[in-house]
A and B are shown apart, each in its own frame.
Chain A
Amino acid sequence: MMSLPRIIMVDDQYGGDEGSKRNSLREDLCSTVGLNDVTGDVAAIEVRNPIADVVFCRGQVVEDGRVRNDLDGTLKAIRDGWTSQPRWALLLLDLRFKTEEGNDGAQASAAEGTPEYFGLTLLEHIWRDPDLRSIPVVILSSMSRNEIERRFADRGVYDFVDKSDLTRERLQQVICDHGLIESESMIGHSVPFLNCLREARQRAKLGTDNILLLGESGTGKELLAKYIHASSPRSHRPYKTVYTQGVPETLVDDRLFGHERGAYTGAKDSVAGAAEQAHEGNLCVDEFGDLPATIQSKLLRLLDKNIRESQRMGATSDQIRKLDLQVVLATNRLDILDAEDFRKDLLFRVRIADAIRVPSLKERREDIPLLAEHFVRKCEDAFKSTLKPERRTISPEAMRALCDADWPGNVRDLEHAIESAVYRFPKLRVLSVGHLRLPGRPSSNPNTEPVAAYTPSSAPAAAGNLQDILDALDHLEFSGSAGERFLWTGRLPELHATLSRSSAALLKAALQATRKPTPDNPDGKIKIHPAVKLAMGDEKITASKAADVVKRVISMDAGVQEESIADPVLGEAYEIAVRLRPKAARRKHSKKRS
C-alpha cells in the first residue's frame, strides 16, 4: 500500500503551544481538511481517511518568554525533511508570523515603505539555496492575494491558497497538481523522477493534449504513458498503444489507422486502427521517432487538436472519422528536433518545447536501491514455486555496485541484471557483487552465456527490404522485355528456398526474442506459441495452430528443413511442434530423415 504524501506546514498558528498538550486550532484544521498530524509535539487526533501526513512547524521560538521568528531553525527543519525519505511532497508556507511586536509587516506604515513578512524571508532563502530550490512551495495565507502576489511571483511559488478556502478537496488538488508524490505503478522517489511524474499529471489533466515523452531507451516511457492515461480525465475510457519500431510502413499504417475491406489482398473485413479504438481515451504511439514519412503526414491530421481525423487504409475522403482523444508520443530520439528525416510541422504540433523528459537512470541514481528491491520481489513473486521461499536481500557492496554502474539501458537493464542474478542463483538469500552481471562487466559464470539479445536496430532495414521484394513480386508480370523474362526464368526454386530460409530465420528470431530465463534454464526455454504469435502478429492463434506454422515453415523446403533441424533453436522448436501435432509431420519427418 502506498504511504501518504508527507507535507510540511510552516505557520505560527499551528505550531505547538508552549506547555500545552494540545493545539485546538490544529486539531480543527486536521479534522476538516483530512490531515494526519505526525509532528509528534502534541497529542494528535485521529482523522478518518487522511489525504496526507503533515508536520507542523511554527517557524518561531520562545526565548525569555518572548516569541521571535526563527529563520535558521525553520530552514533546518525544512532541509532535514527534504534530504531524508520520505521527503516533503509540498511546503505550505504562511506569510505573516505574529511575534511580541505584533504581526510582522504590520509595524511598517504603508507610507514608510514595503512591509517585510517572515514568510517572504523564508521563501527568499529557499529560492536562493540550490539544495532547497526544488521544493514545491504553496503559499497558505489569510492575506489578500492582490496585496502580496507580485512579491512572491518570481520566487518559484506554485500556488496561493487563501486559508478561508482551504478545504479537503482544494488541498487534495494542490497536492496532486504541485506535490512531488510517489506512484504505485512507477517506482522511484528521486526529485527528477517525481518532477517528471508531476509534469505528466499536470499535462494529463487537460485530457486533450498531444504529449511528447522524450527519454533514453529503457527509461519507462511506456509506463509513463499509462500513468498519464490513469491521471487523465479519460482514465475510464480506452487506452491503446501502437509500437512502430521495426514494423513495416504498411503495417504501422494498418495498426494505427486500420483498413477498409478490400484495401489490400487479404483485407476481408474493415478493421479499426488503434486511433479509432482509443476514441474518447488515450492513444500512445511508441517509438514515434521511427515513424516513416508517409505515416508522419497522415498523423498530422490526427495530431491537429482542431481536426483529430483518422483515415483507414483504402478509405475514401467521406469515410474519414473525427476522433476525440489525447495522444501520447514516445521516442528515444532526444535530438528529434534536429532530425532531418522528421517533419518539423509534426513536431510543432506536439509542442516539442513542452516535451516531458523522462530522466535516465544515471540522473536518478537515488532510485536504484528502491528499484533493485522491487525487481527482486517481482522475480520472487513470479517464480514462487521454483525459488527458495525466503526473501532475498542485496548485500550493501552489491547495492553500491548497482548504484555506481553506468546502466546504458537504464531501468530495463537494471531489471535484467536483477532477474538474471535471481534466476541463476535461486538458492541464495543474499545477492552479492559476484552474482550480478553489471554493464561492462564480464559474466561471473563463464559457462552461462547471456541470452542473445534481440537487436532491433537492423530490423527496420530488413523489414523495408522485405517489403520491397514483396511489392516487386506482387506486381511481377511476364509480359516484359526479353531481358526481364531472362531475369526471372527458372528462378522459382531459388525463390522458394529463399522464402523458406527467410521464414525460418524470422521464426528463429522470434523464438530467441520470446525466450524467458528461468532458474533451471538461464538462457531461456524455447516456447513456440509466443514466438509464432510474435512472428505472425496474431495474438489469437492457438497453440496447435502455432505448432502447425512451425512445422510448415521448417518443412517448406527440403534443403532448408535439414539446415533447420540441425540448428539447436529451430531443431528444438520443430521437435516441440511435432510432439504437439504428430500426424503427417512425423511421417514426413521420418521420411526426410531416412
Chain B
Amino acid sequence: MNSQWQAKRTKLNHDWLKNDFLRRLRAFVSRVEDGAQDAARLEEFACKHWPEWRRHSHLIRDMLIDGEECLSPRQYFACLPLSACPAEVKSWLPNLIHALWLVRTDIRRHNAEAQCSLNRAEALFDELSPILQHASQNLTSDLAKSVGQLREFEAAAKQLGESIGRLPHHVEVV
C-alpha cells in the first residue's frame, strides 16, 4: 500500500505538478507579464496544458484522502509476520501504533495544509478557466488583467506541491 502510494505521489507531485505543470505555468505567466507577442506558445499552454489541472487535481485529492491509511504502519498488521499476532493484541496494538505515528509525523496537519492549498487553487482555476478559454487571439492583453490571479494560482499550486512533499517518505518506527 505504502509503495503504491509513494509511486502515485512521485507521478502526480514530482513528475507532473512540479516538473511539468508548474514550470509551464511559470513560463506562461512570465510571458503574459512581459507582454510577449508569442500567441502560439500562449495558446499551446491555454489549450493543451491548462486543462490538465482538472484531471490531475481530482487524482491529487484522492491521493490525499488515502494518504493517512496508506502511509500508516498499521497496515503491516495485515501481513506477516505481524498478522500472526493474537487477535487480542491486534484489537488494540495497531490503533495504538497508528495514534503514536500520527503524533510523530503530524500528518494530519500536513494533509490539511495540502487540502487547503488544493481548494484555493481549485477556486482560482474555476475563475481563470473561462478567461483562458474565451480569450481572443490577442491573449497577452486579455490575460494581462488576470496576472495577479494567475500568480496566486501559481503560489497555491506550489504550496500544494510543497505540502505533499512534506508527507512521510518512509514508514517510520514509532
Measuring CB to CB, which residues of chain A are less than 8 angstroms from any residue of chain B?
13, 24-25, 27-29, 31-32, 96, 98, 102-103, 106, 109-112, 142-144, 147, 163-164
Q: Say whether B23 contacts A28, CB under 8 Å.
A: yes
CB distance from A139 to the nearest CB of B (A): 14
8 A Cβ contacts from B38-86 to A: 41, 44
Q: How far is the CA of A94 from the CA of B22 in the complex (A)?
A: 17
Query: Given contacts A25-B23, A28-B26, A109-B3, are A164 and B10 in contact (CB under 8 A)?
Result: no
Does B165 interact with chain A (Cβ within 8 Å)? Answer: yes
Assess the A29–B10 pair: CB atoms within 8 A: no
Contact B3 A111 (CB under 8 A): yes
Q: Contact at B18–A32, with CB atoms within 8 Å?
A: no
Interface size, chain B (Cβ < 8 Å): 30
Q: Considering the complex of A and B, which 10 residue pairs feature the smallest CB-CB distances, nearest first? A: A28-B27, A142-B18, A109-B3, A144-B165, A110-B170, A32-B27, A147-B169, A142-B14, A32-B30, A106-B10
Which residue of B11, B30, B158 contacts A31 across the interface (Cβ within 8 Å)?
Answer: B30
Please measure, in the bound complex, the distance between the C-alpha atom of A112 and the C-alpha atom of B171, giving whole angstroms. Answer: 11
Which chain A residue lies CB-closest to B71?
Answer: A110
Q: How far is the CA of A25 from the CA of B19 in the complex (A)?
A: 9
Residue-wise, chain B 1-29 has the 8 Å CB interface mask toward A (1 for contact) of 01100110011011100111011101110
* Chain B residues within 8 Å of A, Cβ to Cβ: 2-3, 6-7, 10-11, 13-15, 18-20, 22-24, 26-28, 30-31, 41, 44, 158, 161-162, 165-166, 169-171
In the bound assembly, the distance between CA atoms of A13 and B26 in angstroms comes to 16
Instruction: Determine which residue in A24, A27, A28, A163 has the highest number of CB atoms from chain B within 10 A of its CB, and name it.
Output: A28
A11–chain B nearest beta-carbon distance, Å: 9
The answer on a CB contact under 8 Å between A163 and B3 is no
Chain A positions within 8 Å of B44 at CB level = 24
| CB–CB A111/B27 < 8 A | no
Cross-chain contact A28 with B18 (CB below 8 angstroms): no
CB closest chain-B residue, reference A25:
B23
Q: Are B18 and A111 neighbours in the complex by a CB distance under 8 Å?
A: no
Given contacts A24-B44, A28-B23, contact A110 B171 (CB under 8 A): yes
With A28-B23, A28-B24, A31-B30 already in contact, 11 other A-B pairs whose C-beta atoms are closer than 8 Å: A24-B24, A24-B41, A25-B23, A28-B26, A32-B30, A96-B10, A106-B10, A110-B6, A111-B3, A112-B3, A147-B169
Flag if B23 contacts A163 (CB, 8 Å): yes
The residue on B at minimum CB distance from A26 is B23
Chain B residue numbers with a CB within 8 Å of A27 are 27, 41
Cα of A187 to Cα of B173 in the assembled complex, Å: 56
Write out the residue numbers on chain B whose beta carbons fall within 8 Å of the beta carbon of A164: 18, 22, 158, 161-162
B87 vs chain A, min Cβ distance (A): 24
Give the complex CA separation of A292 and B28 in angstroms: 64
A22 to B2, CA, bound (A): 38
A residues less than 8 Å from B11 (CB atoms): 103
Q: Does the CB pair A25–B20 fall under 8 Å?
A: yes
Contact of A13 among B2, B19, B41 (CB under 8 A): B19
Once bound together, how far apart are the Cα atoms of A103 and B22, in whole Å? 19
Q: B14, A103: Cβ atoms under 8 Å?
A: yes
In the complex, 21 of the A-B residue pairs with CB atoms within 8 angstroms, ordered by the A residue number, are A13-B19, A13-B20, A25-B24, A29-B27, A32-B26, A103-B11, A103-B14, A106-B10, A110-B2, A110-B3, A110-B6, A110-B171, A111-B2, A142-B161, A144-B166, A144-B169, A147-B169, A163-B18, A163-B19, A164-B22, A164-B158
Contacts of A147 in B (CB 8 A): 165, 169
A142 and B28 alpha carbons, distance in the complex (Å): 19
B166: chain A residues at CB < 8 Å are 144
Contact B27 A31, beta carbon cutoff 8 Å: yes
A residues near B22, Cβ cutoff 8 Å:
164
CB-defined contacts of A111 to chain B, threshold 8 Å: 2-3, 170-171
Residues of chain A lying within 8 A (CB to CB) of residue B27: 27-29, 31-32
Complex alpha-carbon distance, A40 and B20, angstroms? 23
Chain A residue nearest in CB terms to B24: A28
Shortest distance in angstroms between B121's beta carbon and chain A's nearest beta carbon?
A: 14
Shortest Cβ distance from B18 into chain A, in angstroms? 4
Q: Are A98 and B3 in contact (CB under 8 A)?
A: no
Chain B residues within an 8 Å CB radius of A102: 7
B165 contacts A106, CB within 8 Å?
no
* Residues of the B chain whose Cβ atoms lie less than 8 Å from the Cβ of A163: 18-19, 23
In whole angstroms, how far apart are the Cα atoms of A304 and B7 in the complex? 55
Distance in angstroms between the alpha carbons of A32 and B161 in the assembled complex: 20
Q: What residues of A have a CB within 8 angstroms of the CB of B165 in the complex?
A: 143-144, 147
Q: How far is the CA of A102 from the CA of B27 in the complex (A)?
A: 27
Q: Give the docked Cα–Cα distance between A251 and B18 (Å).
A: 63
Whether A142 contacts B30 in the complex (CB less than 8 A), given A96-B14, A110-B2, A110-B171, comes out as no
Q: How far is the CA of A144 from the CA of B24 in the complex (A)?
A: 20
Residue of B nearest to A103 (CB): B10
Least CB separation from B76: chain A residue: A111
Max count, chain B CB within 10 A of own CB: residue among A24, A142, A144, A163:
A142
A245 shortest CB reach to chain B, Å? 54
Q: Within the assembled complex, what's the spacing in Å between the Cα atoms of A76 and B79?
A: 47
Decide if B169 touches A110 in the complex (CB within 8 Å).
yes
Bound-state Cα–Cα, A594 to B10, Å = 103
User: Closest chain B residue to A145 by CB distance?
Assistant: B165
Complex Cα distance A247/B15, Å?
A: 66
How far does the alpha carbon of A343 sit from the alpha carbon of B7 in the complex, in Å? 62
**Could you tell me if B23 and A29 are in contact, using CB atoms closer than 8 angstroms?**
yes
Q: Which residue in chain A gives the minimum CB-CB distance to B167?
A: A144
A168 nearest in chain B by CB position: B30
Q: Which residue of A lies closest to B169 (CB)?
A: A147
Q: How far is the CA of A96 from the CA of B165 in the complex (A)?
A: 15
Q: Output the least CB separation between A208 and chain B (Å).
A: 33
Residues of B within 8 A of A31 (CB): 27, 30-31
Residues of chain B contacted by A29 (CB below 8 angstroms):
23, 27
Q: Complex formed: what's the CA distance from A147 to B3 in Å? A: 15
Report Cα–Cα, A147/B162, bound state, in Å.
Answer: 12
Q: Nearest CB to that of A142 among chain B residues?
A: B18
Most buried by B among A144, A147, A164: A164
Distance in angstroms between the alpha carbons of A98 and B7 in the assembled complex: 12
Question: B17 to chain A: closest CB distance in Å?
Answer: 8
A142-B31 in contact (CB<8A): no
Nearest-neighbour CB distance to chain A for B131, whole angstroms, equals 21
Q: Closest residue to B166 on the A side, CB-wise?
A: A144
User: In the complex, A28 Cα to B30 Cα: how many Å?
Assistant: 10
Known: A28-B24, A110-B2. A142 touches B19 (CB 8 A): yes
Nearest-Cβ distance from residue B174 to partner chain A, whole angstroms: 14
Q: Which of B2, B6, B11, B23 has the most CB of A within 10 A?
A: B23
With the chains together, A84 CA to B41 CA distance in Å?
A: 36
The closest CB in chain A to the CB of B25 belongs to A28
What is the CA–CA distance of A588 and B58 in the complex, to the nearest angstrom?
105
Q: Across the interface, which residues of B come within 8 angstroms of A106, CB to CB? A: 6-7, 10
Asked if A143 meets B14 with Cβ closer than 8 Å, knowing A106-B6, A109-B3, A111-B2, the reply is: yes
What is the CB-to-nearest-CB distance from A95 to chain B, in angstroms, rounded to a whole number? 10
| Docked pose: A6 CA to B169 CA in angstroms | 35
